[in-house]
Amino acid sequence: MRASGYEYKSLNRAIGKAIHDYDMIREGDRILVGLSGGADSLTLAWLLAERRRRIRVRYELEAVYVDPGFAGGAGDALKPFCDRLEIPLRIELTDYGLVSHSPANRENPCFLCAHLRRKRMFEIAAERRCTKLAFGHNKDDLIETLFLNMCFSGEISTMRPAQVLFEGRFTLIRPLAYAEATLIRRFAGEYRLPVVENPCPSATRSRRSEVKSLLQDLYRKNRKIKGNIFRAMRHVKPEYLLK
């Protein structure tokens, strides 16, 4: 497992700072990594596996891929990838994606599918005695979620880099919270990670894709905007918000 180059060094700094800032990983942790086949989750698994080889904190890694049931799933590509990283992989076959896009569901298909998959991941984490779940959400995801919640839920909130759930039974961690999506994609390409195209029919026409397009237009106009939005989530002035 070679580790060099600008992308690796930048991501290693970002993930190290996030882990330190939010005390994400402790001695003896058993961490379940949620894999999707995308560049984010594959990069996360690679970095966590590489990191545990060289730091003093001992932790165990397992991975899970909850297949939503569409043709062209990532299971076949993920097995040899996890074998190389020496991470046990569980592939869970479901029909969550099909059900979410069926006439039986009149709500947002992405919301239901994500809810069902996450629920199953927590169940598997409990079975495997993993108290932490690691997801590959990055800096761009946190910003997009902020805008999604403002535009479609009427609230100011986003995903937290670390969040204790179910009265302390689990902690959800996002070690890539400080890493930009473009850097992750470059890393995945340089290290030839087996990225699988998302087979979901809503992948390019979801609310998130709309918000992503809006933000990309803003970023092109002013390269400081992304950093300013991200910093704004830490610098909230409640006295200047409505009560």
CATH number of the domain encompassing residue 69: 3.40.50.620
Residues 200-235: tens digit of each pLDDT:
887 777 889 999 999 999 999 999 999 999 999 999
For residue 233, give every residue at least 6 positions away whose Cβ sits within 8 Å of its Cβ, in sequence order, or none.
142, 143, 146, 158
**Alpha-carbon span 243 to 239, nearest angstrom:** 9
- Flag whether pLDDT at 170 surpasses 80: yes
For the chain, percent of residues with pLDDT exceeding 70: 98
Q: How high is the pLDDT of residue 4?
A: 65
The model's confidence at residue 106, banded by pLDDT at 50, 70 and 90, is low
Whether 100 maps to a domain, the answer reads yes
Residue 2 pLDDT exceeds 90: no
pLDDT of 58 reads: 96
R_g of the chain computed on alpha carbons: 18
- As a whole number of angstroms, the distance between CA 64 and CA 119 comes to 13
Give how many domains the chain has, as a whole number.
1
CA angle 35, 144, 171 (to 5 degrees): 45
The helix/strand/coil state of 94 is coil
* Residue 208 counted as domain residue: yes
Element (H, E) at 172: strand 170-173
Region 8-23: mean pLDDT is 97
Query: Is residue 1 a part of any domain in this protein?
Result: no
Provide the pairing of β-strand 59-67 with 89-93.
parallel
| Residue 38 lies inside a defined structural domain of this protein | yes
The pLDDT-based confidence of 143 (bands split at 50, 70, 90) is: very high
Q: What does the pLDDT average to over 55-63?
A: 96
More confident residue, 2 or 105: 105
Is the pLDDT at 1 greater than 80, yes or no?
Answer: no
> Per mean pLDDT, which range of 64-73, 77-86, 116-125, 187-196 is the poorest?
64-73
Q: What is the pLDDT of residue 175?
A: 98
- Phi, psi angle pair for 99, to nearest 5°: -65, -40
How would you classify the pairing of strands 132-134 and 29-35? parallel
Is 227 within a domain?
yes
Instruction: Give this prediction's pTM.
Output: 0.93
> Which residues have CB under 8 Å from 74's CB, separation 6+?
35, 36, 37, 65, 67, 196
Q: Which residues in 68-161 belong to E strands, given as ranges?
A: 89-93, 132-134
pLDDT at residue 243 tops 90? no
Q: Is the pLDDT of residue 168 over 70?
A: yes
Please check whether residue 103 lies inside any domain of the structure.
yes
Domain that holds residue 66: 6-240
Residue 153 has pLDDT above 80, yes or no: yes
